[in-house]
A and B are shown apart, each in its own frame.
Chain A
Amino acid sequence: MRNRKGRSPELKVGLKYCGGCRAGYHRVAAVERIRERLGDKIEFVSSDCVDCDFVLVVTGCATACVDTASFKGRPIRYIKSEDDVERFITEATGN
């Protein structure tokens, strides 16, 4: 799998949102920020994708009521707040 620039991304990530009933931040904008900041390092794919490195579950609040049953056995990482977004980017970029 190659990204738009023809290079293989370092991270292939399945993306899953919660339902967003009372999100404390803009979840879609947060994912866009990750995409912009990580550029070629990351590629978001459908959460159904079985060969991704992990599933990134983006929830609007700490309750995280999203249904993750279909991801059983696969690594899952959560983003539940703006702080988590920055933490995720920092870890992915190493700085």
Chain B
Amino acid sequence: MSKLMNAKEYEESLRKLNLQVYMFGRKVANPVDDPIIRPSMNAVAMTYELAHRPEYEDLMTTTSHLTGKKINRFCHIHQSTTDLLKKSKMGRLLGFKTGCCFQRCVGMDAMNALSIVTYNIDKKYGTRYYTRFIEYLKYVQENDFVCDGAMTDPKGDRSLAPHQQKDPDLFVHVVEERKDGIVVSGAKAHQTGAVNSHEIIIMPTITMRAEDKDYAVAFALPSDAPGITYIMGRQSCDTRKIEGMTIDRGNMHYGGHEALVVLDKVFVPWDRVFMYKEYDFTTQLVESFAAYHRQSYACKVGVGDVLIGATQVVAEYNGADRASHVKDKIVEMNHLNETLYCGCIACASEGHREPSGTYLVDVLLANIHKHNVTRFPYQIARLAQDIAGGLMVTLPSAADLASPEVGRWVEKYFKGKSDIPTEHRMRILRLIENLTLGTAAVGYLTESMHGAGSPQAQRIMISRLVNMEGKKTTAKELCGIEKGDHLS
């Protein structure tokens, strides 16, 4: 029987890890209970909690194609377009339930990409990466692990290839080959959910050439393997979580995190190495991972649902909800959000089977979806701030509301509709602040811009994947420049 952990079991499993985590210049003795990190753990825990709820299990769980056992969908290799569709839907659901990044999609995307690429490497070179990977996948499924899919290297001077960098560690690379495995050094930046993960799956970040073959490596490590250090990223308003009052957090329970993951001469046994110097497969690995991960931005639709809901609530609390322009702006927010949803559903629906049996999303449509995500959440956030009003950023603190001296003034002058407690108005405004410029804006806005590749990365893929010759030919046929059957 596979372990299908619940939220509590997941939390306990993290306590058993010996992670080397640093934040604000100090080592974090207990990441699980640290008040700044814990909301991100709560968000990942939701992926476990909902798997045990009958009203969500159809999305959150599935059957392993390897063992026939019930597993969490985050450990699954997509076996059909239905699986791809349910992945998109699961992302929206979890974004909606947490109002933030729940961090677990990236490991699923790494595993699905590796299930395709390891198979293809083996076909070309007669290696045994796919067999290794499948054994690793069984281990992940059996233990219901969170995997951090780690792709983004620090990259140093962007004009130079990995082997040309003055500091060779700016891209993860092999520093020693041993009989029993390899030793690697380098770092992965912006690693979402790294400290909440049981495993880290490392992949190359760009196309590698022959000169870069020492950088063309993919492998998996336990997250507490010797030599790994995590340095937590700061988030706007992060220390509000240690102020002791809940209102100013905006989102009471959930959040995300990113960390710099440093690999300092870390040993990787051969059975965890899934690519070793096959530089000619780096493009395929990067692009298939990117396609899956661009689909994963379905989660922003769920977060958008929360922001739209919050905006409607504040409009009602302000007594402005019946104004025609407010109604129209809410419609616009929904239009933008559901347009995002169309993209993640479309790329899943148009997915196809790869030689390994894994289903991959339509790569063009996945890039279109993610490109929309680099834009629409910003537009939705702008409308939310428009409707919320300036009070969102000028509001006194929760401590002022509780103050025996000035609390009554805060209560009196920040009241909206007379039947709504001032505290409620403050809470909903803080949630909008959280999503549009606080801790959750890391995930909802900047991650939407740069996560899974910055906008230009999608534009390059769009340029490469559209059938421009076909469009030109049909245009010429329709206007009589060329003769031919434009329906063919």
Q: Give the B-binding residues of A (Cβ under 8 A).
A: 15-22, 27-28, 65-67
B82 at the A/B interface (Cβ < 8 Å)? Answer: yes
A-side interface mostly: loop
Say yes or no: B93 contacts A21, CB within 8 Å: yes
B78 at the A/B interface (Cβ < 8 Å)? Answer: no
Q: What residues of chain B lie closer than 8 Å to A18, measured between beta carbons?
A: 58-59
Q: What residues of chain B lie closer than 8 Å to A66, measured between beta carbons?
A: 58
Query: 9 tightest CB-CB pairs across the interface, nearest first?
Result: A19-B59, A21-B89, A19-B58, A17-B55, A21-B93, A21-B92, A66-B58, A28-B55, A18-B58
* Chain A to chain B contacts (Cβ below 8 Å), 9 pairs: A16-B54, A19-B57, A19-B60, A19-B86, A19-B93, A21-B89, A22-B96, A22-B305, A28-B55
Q: What residues of chain B lie closer than 8 Å to A65, measured between beta carbons?
A: 82, 85-86, 89
Q: Which residue of B lies closest to A28 (CB)?
A: B55
Beta-carbon contacts of B190-203 to A below 8 Å, as 1s and 0s? Answer: 00000000000000
Beta-carbon contacts of B57-74 to A below 8 Å, as 1s and 0s? Answer: 111100000000000000
A1 CB to nearest B CB, Å: 19
A22 to B92, CA, bound (A): 8
Q: What residues of chain A lie closer than 8 Å to B305, measured between beta carbons?
A: 22
Besides the contacts A17-B55, A20-B59, what 11 more A-B pairs have beta carbons closer than 8 Å? Answer: A16-B58, A17-B57, A17-B58, A19-B58, A19-B60, A19-B86, A21-B59, A21-B89, A22-B89, A22-B93, A65-B82
Q: What residues of chain A lie closer than 8 Å to B90, measured between beta carbons?
A: 19, 21
A16 to B341, CA, bound (A): 25
Q: What residues of chain B lie closer than 8 Å to A28, measured between beta carbons?
A: 55
B residues 237-262 near A (Cβ < 8 Å) are none
Q: Which residue of A lies closest to B59 (CB)?
A: A19
Say yes or no: B82 contacts A17, CB within 8 Å: no
B400 CB to nearest A CB, Å: 37
A19 to B87, CA, bound (A): 11
Q: What residues of chain B lie closer than 8 Å to A19, measured between beta carbons?
A: 56-60, 86, 89-90, 93
Q: Which residue of B lies closest to A18 (CB)?
A: B58
A22 to B60, CA, bound (A): 14
A62 to B87, CA, bound (A): 19
